[in-house]
Amino acid sequence: MDSSKQTQTQIVQMTQFIINEAKDKAEEIDTKALQEFSVEKLKIVNSTKDKIQQDYVRKTKVLDTQAAIARSTAINRSRLEKIKSRQDMLGKLAEESKQQLVQQLKSDATLKSFITNLIVQGALILLEDEVQVRCRATDDAIVTACFDAASKEYTKIIKTETGANKAVKLSLDKDVKLPPAPSSAAHGKSCLGGVALACQNGTITIDNTIDSRLGLVLEQAKPTIRHLLFSK
């Protein structure tokens, strides 16, 4: 009887031990599982944070790039508009200068003196014995009328500057003519007047037309014009 009671007690103790071991093991498994869950959760959270941050940085860079492009586009547009405005104003100034010059040259005396000076300037650059003078067909008469005065002035300047006696023979080029005056009805090249000089069978030429001289003056005066008009 005592032996049976002792055995029963031992069985209870073993059962309790097994249950306790099972509980401990279960707690250990739960703890480990919780730790692993926490680690994985932290990894997922960190990974998500990194992804969000990277996505934020990427989007920020895209926005910054778009903003920089927009600023650059706006600046370039403003510059182009300013350049166009300046070019339009310079073009308007050139057109007004042409009109005023043409108006001033309506006087035959003024035009004759002007053409004579153009011929002399060109001849002094060429320094040839024979020079052909080209002009518009409508200017043949007045240009021819300037030859005598131009030849004398040429000889006078050479004598004054060098002491040498040198003459130039001027002739009208009847084959090559400068384009006609500008007209709203006509298209193509036009010429405000003036002359072109040629020598050596036309291989050497000097453009002394009004268009050429006016263009040269405006080009040389551009810095001053820009300063006066656009310095503010």
For β-strands 204-209 and 130-134, DSSP reports them as: unpaired
Instruction: Confirm if 101 and 213 have CB atoms less than 8 A apart.
Output: no
Tokens of 176: 């090559």
> CA-CA distance, 26 to 18, in Å (whole number)?
12
> CA-CA distance, 116 to 119, in Å (whole number)?
5
CA 212 to chain centre: 25
3-state SS, the chain, equals: CHHHHHHHHHHHHHHHHHHHHHHHHHHHHHHHHHHHHHHHHHHHHHHHHHHHHHHHHHHHHHHHHHHHHHHHHHHHHHHHHHHHHHHHHHHHHHHHHHHHHHHHCCCHHHHHHHHHHHHHHHHHHHCCCEEEEECEHHHHHHHHCCHHHHHHHHHHHHHHHHCCCCCCEEEECCCCCECCCCCCCCCCCCCCCEEEEEECCCCEEEEEEHHHHHHHHHHHHHHHHHHHHHCC
Please report the pLDDT score of residue 26 as a whole number.
Answer: 77
Q: What are 14-30's pLDDT values in tens digits?
A: 888 788 887 878 788 87
Indicate if the pLDDT at residue 142 is higher than 90.
yes
Q: Which CATH class is domain 107-230?
A: alpha beta
Cα–Cα–Cα angle for 222, 96, 192, nearest 5°? 95
Q: What are 162-184's pLDDT values in tens digits?
A: 999 999 999 999 999 999 988 87
Please report the pLDDT score of residue 89 as a whole number.
Answer: 77
Please report the pLDDT score of residue 132 as a whole number.
Answer: 97
Indicate if the pLDDT at residue 114 is higher than 80.
yes
Instruction: Confirm if 114 and 213 have CB atoms less than 8 A apart.
Output: no
Question: How many residues in the chain?
Answer: 232
Strand order in the sheet with 194-199: 169-172, 130-134, 194-199, 204-209
Break the chain into its structural domains and give their ranges: 1-106, 107-230
Q: How far is CA 26 from CA 1, 18, 19, 32, 57, in A?
A: 37, 12, 10, 10, 45
Indicate if the pLDDT at residue 56 is higher than 90.
no
CA quadruple 139, 144, 148, 150: dihedral positive or negative?
A: positive
Kindly report the average pLDDT of the chain as a whole number. Answer: 87
Mean pLDDT across 56-80: 89
